[in-house]
Amino acid sequence: MPGALNITGGEDRVVVELHRPEVRNAIDRQMVEELHLVCGDLEEKPQTLILIGSGGVFASGADIAELRQRRRDDALAGINSTLFARIAALPMPVIAALDGYALGGGAELAFAADFRIGTPRLTIGNPETGLGIMPAAGATWRLKELVGEPLAKEILLAGRILNAEEALEAKLITAIHAPEDLLQAAHALADRIGRQDPLAVRITKSVFHAPREAHPMIDQLAQAILFESEAKFDRMQRFLDRKKES
């Protein structure tokens, strides 16, 4: 059986292309299992992850033919939600490059990323209630955090679908690029991340997602670790040297 993903990479990043073009990259069990394998690699060797679709589509949702057969025990197993939580918790940032449809489970996968960029033809939202189910892989709480309660309720309860401009205005995505420039733009963002100290990025991401009651103690403990790192001394010395030369 052919894989559901195309995976390429470099020293500081991995690009994962969702590749089920015959069903607009619908997320099925095989894709979930292959994404878990990617997560395992990235947990062992932290790198920035770029997620992108194929054929002008990010992901049209969960595979409806497969979803229709799932029952109570499948829902309780959290097939997609467990994966998306794992993606959100990856040590280094995750960039979702969104083209065409990012609907249902595809939207929830995008919501789990740290950064979302799109193209003018992006369509994003959660039409699950129209199919007699609910978005149960993170949208009910991540979307409220991302766009605020009023718009989140329009999307989740009234089936509103956003186009690219609306997603940009809501800050659900941070930039719009031509389809042919989308991957390059994702790499440019990964380049910016790559110029930072990897340990500082990893720790900052962890602290950012810590619960409110963990602050400020978690910030102080994290900073204590970074204050002892080689990179801190090297980078600050280079900054001082450049300042002296200017």
- The rounded distance, in Å, linking the Cα atoms of 202 and 193 is 11
Is residue 201 scored above 80 in pLDDT?
A: yes
110, 97 in Cβ contact below 8 A?
Answer: no
Is residue 64 scored above 80 in pLDDT?
A: no
- The rounded distance, in Å, linking the Cα atoms of 226 and 230 is 9
Is residue 42 scored above 90 in pLDDT?
A: yes
Q: Determine the average pLDDT of the residues in 186-197.
A: 98
Q: pLDDT (tens digit, 9 = 90+) per residue, 131-184?
A: 999 999 999 999 999 999 999 999 999 999 999 999 999 999 999 999 999 999
Is residue 1 scored above 70 in pLDDT?
A: no
Residue 85, CA distances (Å) to 3, 52, 79, 179, 209 in order: 22, 18, 11, 28, 12
User: What percent of the chain has a predicted confidence (pLDDT) above 70?
Assistant: 100
Predicted local confidence at residue 68, as pLDDT: 75
Task: List Cβ neighbours of 35 (8 Å cut-off, separation of 6 or more).
Answer: 5, 16, 83, 87
- The rounded distance, in Å, linking the Cα atoms of 225 and 90 is 19
Is residue 221 scored above 90 in pLDDT?
A: yes
Residue 129, CA distances (Å) to 11, 57, 65, 136, 142 in order: 42, 22, 17, 11, 17
- pTM summary value: 0.95
Is residue 63 scored above 80 in pLDDT?
A: no
Among 43, 51, 40, smallest CA distance to 17 is for: 51
Q: pLDDT (tens digit, 9 = 90+) per residue, 66-103?
A: 877 888 888 887 889 999 999 999 999 999 999 999 99
Is residue 104 scored above 80 in pLDDT?
A: yes
